[in-house]
Chain A
Amino acid sequence: AQTVTQSQPEMSVQEAETVTLSCTYDTSESDYYLFWYKQPPSRQMILVIRQEAYKQQNATENRFSVNFQKAAKSFSLKISDSQLGDAAMYFCAYRRGMEYGNKLVFGAGTILRVKS
């Protein structure tokens, strides 16, 4: 079974600074998808960024980018120019290839605190 590990229970960053959240996963498959979701205090899950395993180029969404290391099974999230609104719990998630449906496996989460 696939597993997702987030080794940082909590992280802090100063406003306008950069922070990196770690995620590793375990799988024997070659076709899969990786995600970072944000869960603010409202508890609404929000998709931050998505990476297809077959793509070598790291995904980028404005201030959010990933460092996808397929051989190392690592998928870290970098948040640049951190803002107070970035404070939330962040979940790394794994999804198997297209033919297996949309079931997600989540990591334990990392609480991100942003200091002003």
Chain B
Amino acid sequence: GAVVSQHPSWVICKSGTSVKIECRSLDFQATTMFWYRQFPKQSLMLMATSNEGSKATYEQGVEKDKFLINHASLTLSTLTVTSAHPEDSSFYICSAGLAGHRGSGELFFGEGSRLTVL
């Protein structure tokens, strides 16, 4: 199947700093990528839909100024957690589907990024 890669897999930062997480589709183009947040032993909560060349669509309750999403190319989306605080500590996962193959329905997931804010 298609490969989605996230980087970094684990990041520790100080409170008040900003952290950028990258999501890349390695062998396919993705006009849309999705960012999820997951707390331990809980489900994946969709944060936003990243659209190549346009603004991201945020889910209700997600602060767009806090979680900046950029999708500048068909293979890269970035999530920047601005002025991070301990409550932002979580596991962040991105996913992407094949452009032009929406009917297959399958999403490919990155390995996830664990953010710890001290």
Contact = CB atoms under 8 A, between A and B. Distances in A.
A103 B34 contact: yes
Contacts of A108: 42-43
Interface string B94-118: 0101000011011101011000000
Interface in A85-116: 89, 91, 95, 98, 101-109, 111
Contacts, number: 56
B77 interface: no
A105 B107 CA distance: 12
Interface residues of B, number: 22
Given A89-B41, A102-B97, A109-B42, A95 B105 contact: yes
A35 interface: yes
Given A91-B44, A103-B49, A106-B44, 9 more contacts: A43-B38, A43-B91, A43-B112, A52-B105, A102-B34, A102-B95, A102-B105, A104-B107, A109-B43
- 9 closest A-B pairs (Cβ-Cβ)? A102-B97, A45-B109, A33-B105, A98-B103, A106-B43, A108-B43, A43-B112, A106-B44, A109-B43
